[in-house]
Structure 1
Amino acid sequence: MAPQPQRSLGILNLERGEARDAMPLVPPRGSLMSSATYDFPVISETVVGAWVDLVVPGAPELESACVAAAKRLVERGAVAISANCGYFIRHQAAVAAAVNVPVVSSSLLLLPALLGQLPAAAKLAVLVAQPKHLSEDMLGLTDPFARARVVIGGIEDSALVRNENMRPPPPTDMADIEKDVLACAERLRGSHPDLKAFLFECTAMPLTAPAVRRMTGLPVYDITTLCRMTLASVA
């Protein structure tokens, strides 16, 4: 009898080109791709053709590749599926319909619930990599009052965004990512004193969450928050 695949968190991964077949570095605790973040195995499958410069603006032709990668993850033992870019939320419905495990493609899925946790007059900041490509339907909000409570901030001029839009993308120093995220969070707090929480869309941001919490004293949610919650319900 063939051994059963190990129950794991499956990640739909971006295309990395030459780095795709390189020996992977051990991702640090707190990052999306680290098993140590969840005390649970993490596996990944590359979505063929899913370069950042296609995923972020939106490329409908990637949907079939997302579905195929999700099915491979389930075959390998994934009990839940997430994705290594918040903009994969555009393919949430298709992937969820194609597999029999929970799919949490983006931290943006948390947005309606987080607004319900805050006072009605409070605002929530969503930090994204490239705000110009964030469409209203990705926020999942149909109530104009709820939408008015959401502030969007971005790191579009950062080293991370410049690097990730290359093929293949070179690594970005975490110190640079943290500096840009902190600067964005500080700008948003200065402009919106009624801000009461942050939600990170970008999957490179979770490692900066502790620094943002220390600086602002506010809750910070990200894709690892959603993955941990999902794993707690199925693992």
Structure 2
Amino acid sequence: MIFTANKGQTSYGEAIGILLLDTTIPFIQGDVGNATSYDYPVRYKTIEGLTGERIFNHDYSFIDKMVAGAKELEQEGVKAITGDCGFMAIFNREVKESVNIPVFLSSLLQIPFIRSTLPDSAKIGIITANSKSLTSEVFEKIGILDKKNLVIYGLEEEKNFKAAAIDEIETLDSDAIRQEVLCVAKKIIAEHPETRSFLLECSMLPPYSEAVQLATGFPVYDFITMIDYAYSTIVKKRFEDVM
């Protein structure tokens, strides 16, 4: 078999490219920003200057930098592009139009699929990093115009999550954050008993998905479920012709 080098590509085998915020948060295993969260290699690119504060404020001045970063990842050989913040939804349209590979910048893109699995009366519990910033505008940018069955609760007032993810104190107490996420999930169930699935919006939350699933008994979707699914579509498993 003969292989040909791709111009501008210096390494190979990284099918998923990930655009990162410019933060100083420890990325533990399970976080989108930790490469050991995947069973396959990924490639990262930081969007300089795009801080958590700016993404929460929907700073559209970074569209050009996001597009440039996506184009660089495509040139470097990735087959699909995601991000490490659900609020990157505000850039999804422009970025996907700029490259020739799939783009899925926000975990919120899973909502139509989750809805299709549930009765019309069921609700989806969304646990987000910042409920104040998760406005209708964010959903509209990814084509979600109806929020009627979405129950949105934020972690912006939870002491340990706020310290690590918003204040960026450069340390992270994972046990404490797990308990905060569980408390919010249980609150959603108590106040909205029609809830039948959870979506953890923030890229820092997949490490706590198992705890939420075990505590509630409901399916839990997060950034990693989305990225793993996308990977399975661009790198297909080979099956032998046997029975």
The TM-score, its normalising length taken from structure 2, stands at 0.85
1:156-235 superposed matches below 5 A: 156-158=156-158, 159-166=160-167, 169-235=169-235
- 1:177 deviates by 1.8
CA contact (8 A) 2:156 2:166 kept: no
Q: Could you say what secondary structure the match of 1:183 adopts? A: helix
Q: Which residue of 1 aligns with 2:20?
A: 13
Matched, 1:64 2:71: no
Within 2, Cα distance between the matches of 1:232 and 1:35?
17
Matched, 1:142 2:145: yes
- 1:39 deviates by 1.6
CA contact (8 A) 1:33 1:42 kept: no
Within 2, Cα distance between the matches of 1:39 and 1:133?
32
Matched, 1:50 2:50: yes
Q: Which residue of 1 aligns with 2:238?
A: none
Instruction: Go from structure 1 to structure 2 and tell me whether the alpha carbon gap of 1:26 and 1:192 turns closer, same or farther (over 3 Å shift).
Output: closer
Within 1, Cα distance between the matches of 2:27 and 2:125?
31
- 1:87 deviates by 0.4
Instruction: Go from structure 1 to structure 2 and tell me whether the alpha carbon gap of 1:77 and 1:173 turns closer, same or farther (over 3 Å shift).
Output: farther
In the TM superposition, structure 1's runs of 4+ consecutive aligned residues that sit over 4 Å from their partners are 1-4
1:19-34 superposed matches below 5 A: 27-28=28-29, 30-34=30-34
Considering only CA atoms, is the larger Rg found in Structure 1 or Structure 2? 2
Within 2, Cα distance between the matches of 1:27 and 1:162?
15
Q: Which residue of 2 aligns with 1:41?
A: 41
CA contact (8 A) 2:18 2:44 kept: yes
Over the aligned positions, Cα root-mean-square deviation in angstroms equals: 2.0
- 1:34 deviates by 4.0
* Structure 2: stretches of 5+ with no match in the other structure: 236-243
Q: Could you say what secondary structure the match of 1:81 adopts? A: strand
The TM-score, its normalising length taken from structure 1, stands at 0.88
Q: Could you say what secondary structure the match of 1:90 adopts? A: helix
Within 2, Cα distance between the matches of 1:11 and 1:229?
15
